[in-house]
């Protein structure tokens, strides 16, 4: 694998898609652990005001915090570490492993940037692993705006606006998507249950709470205090 060439493409586009990166059998084991967890009726960690205003409907789960060591295997993958190092440079660090689960008939996630884009040196890297194919029947395709990691703040406006240059990603079981936290991105509405597993990482010197404030088209929201810190557009 030419890590240097992949890193170059990542920095041009603000994202990178690599199909068949992970072993399908490992992905199937991940998928059944995820289904077992969510079939048990997961805790909803976001408050209702956030869910209503953000047009986000997703339930996070941190399996490594619950001793699910199976989820270590991707985090320890030397190819993933080398690719991450080529993108973020030496001294980068892993943050956490978070499964994002969308129930059937849910909204997905409206356009957002994971952290404020004003300081280009401060950002998170999403390392998204897909344990099952995302299909037309499931819904929840990921959409991104190429190059938007260098275009500053996500435009204010309706949460469901389209961008002329948006691109739709259709990840399959075993696909790795690397996504810069400043890149404008969203998850389309979901028909059947859908998940992605995110091994977030960040460059050396990034504050641990880099993703505490998320930028949406209609607001900036701080998760730690559960408050809208800025209204945007007509919201």
Number of chain positions touching ligand AKG (CB under 6 A): 10
Q: Does 198 bind ligand AKG (CB under 6 A)?
A: yes
Tokens 């990691």 belong to 149
Q: Which CB atom, from 100 or from 215, has the smaller least distance to ligand AKG?
A: 100
Q: Which of 77, 114, 173, 218 is close enough to bind ligand AKG by CB under 6 A?
A: 114
Q: How far is the CB of 125 from ligand AKG (least distance, A)?
A: 10
Q: Are 34 and 196 in contact (CB under 8 A)?
A: no
Q: How far is the CB of 197 from ligand AKG (least distance, A)?
A: 9
Contacts of 81 (CB under 8 A, 6+ apart): none
Q: Does 54 bind ligand AKG (CB under 6 A)?
A: no
Q: Which of 54, 68, 95, 126 is close enough to bind ligand AKG by CB under 6 A?
A: 126
Using the Cα atoms of residue 155, residue 158, residue 160 and residue 165 in order, give the sign of their dihedral.
negative
Q: Which CB atom, from 5 or from 195, has the smaller least distance to ligand AKG?
A: 195
The H or E element spanning position 74 is: helix 72-75
Q: Which CB atom, from 5 or from 105, has the smaller least distance to ligand AKG?
A: 105
Q: How far apart are CA 194 and CA 187, in angstroms?
A: 10
Q: Which CB atom, from 78 or from 180, has the smaller least distance to ligand AKG?
A: 180
Q: Provide the greatest CA pair distance for the chain.
A: 47
């Amino acid at each position: 694998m030419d890590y240097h060439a992949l890193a170059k493409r990542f920095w041009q586009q603000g994202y990178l898609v690599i199909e068949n990166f992970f072993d399908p059998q490992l992905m199937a084991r991940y998928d059944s652990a995820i289904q077992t967890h969510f079939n048990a009726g997961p805790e909803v960690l976001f408050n209702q005001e956030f869910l209503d205003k953000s047009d986000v409907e997703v339930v996070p789960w941190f399996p490594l915090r619950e001793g699910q060591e199976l989820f270590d295997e991707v985090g320890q993958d030397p190819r993933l570490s080398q690719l991450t190092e080529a993108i973020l440079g030496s001294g980068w660090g892993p943050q956490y492993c978070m499964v994002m689960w969308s129930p059937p008939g849910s909204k997905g996630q409206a356009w957002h940037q994971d952290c404020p884009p004003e300081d280009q040196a401060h950002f998170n890297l999403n390392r998204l692993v897909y344990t099952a194919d995302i299909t037309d029947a499931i819904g929840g395709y990921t959409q991104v705006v190429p190059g938007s990691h260098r275009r500053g703040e996500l435009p204010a406006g309706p949460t469901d606006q389209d961008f002329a240059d948006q691109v739709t990603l259709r990840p399959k079981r075993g696909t790795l998507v690397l996504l810069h936290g400043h890149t404008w991105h969203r998850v389309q509405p979901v028909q059947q249950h859908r998940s992605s597993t995110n091994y977030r990482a960040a460059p050396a010197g990034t504050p641990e709470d880099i993703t505490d404030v998320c930028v949406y088209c209609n607001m900036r929201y701080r998760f730690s205090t559960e408050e809208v810190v800025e209204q945007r557009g007509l919201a």
